[in-house]
Amino acid sequence: MMEDTDLRILRAELPAPYELVCRERVDSVLDEALKLGGDGADEGTLVWAGKTTDMPPGTLCAAVLLRPEEPAERWPELAAVAAVSAGAAIAEVCQPLTPLGYRWPDELLLGLDPVGHIGLARSACLLALSWQIHVDSPPGTLPAFATLSGDGGAETTPGEVLGRTCRFFLDWVNRWAEEGFEPVHRAWLRRRLLEHPPADVPAGEPVDLDASGNLVLRTADGETVRSLGDAVGLS
């Protein structure tokens, strides 16, 4: 459940063009954002759920509605934009030297353990982008995951993390629109963890991201590329 103080702080700190929509519980913040978009909601509509079907208390679950002007083949790059935005927010609230990293295509890490996940879903000209970040879940509820409080020493709340993430995302998405993927690529690679790819990545050694965020793998037969669009479900 959302704390009233946390909610007031978030409302006060969110910059335009975000429009906050709160839900106590939804099955999916992505689906809720796309539904609102289909009903005419503006770009920047931000759905924040106190609880979703598959996340325990203390987890930030939020999605923003976008109507990108860029070609749809570039939309998967926004997974990396969302990751570096959340990474910047996490770095602000965690203790110095906390080992923050990114795992292609859509995971945020503290050390080697996942602490967050980026989601993407589209419907016609609409795109919804979500953040799920484990802020302070009860002990034992997420044995395979890290939390910002337990592993990063953060004294924070889901609302504070969301507010910071949204401010960074506004900066990064504008930079992405104006300058392309290259600055996002550089930010991603500073914290990359390509040497630990998801289990479903074909055999090969991850060596880099290409100019569109696709994963470049070195195999015995040379280099091969894993599509970012396929990996985040936007192919």
pLDDT tens readout for residues 162-190: 999 999 999 999 999 999 999 999 999 88
User: What percent of the chain has pLDDT above 70?
Assistant: 90
pLDDT surpassing 50 at residue 134: yes
Q: What is the tens place of the pLDDT at every residue in 201-230?
A: 556 777 788 999 998 888 878 888 999 999
What does the pLDDT read at residue 13? Answer: 81
Q: Decide if domain 4-190 falls under CATH 2.60.120.10.
A: no
User: What span, in angstroms and rounded, lies between the C-alpha atoms of 76 and 213?
Assistant: 8
Q: What is the tens place of the pLDDT at every residue in 1-52?
A: 567 888 888 888 898 899 999 998 899 999 999 999 999 999 999 999 977 7
pLDDT surpassing 70 at residue 193: no
Q: Which residue in 116, 112, 114, 115 sits closest to 195, CA to CA?
A: 112
User: What is this structure's pTM?
Assistant: 0.92
User: What span, in angstroms and rounded, lies between the C-alpha atoms of 21 and 58?
Assistant: 19
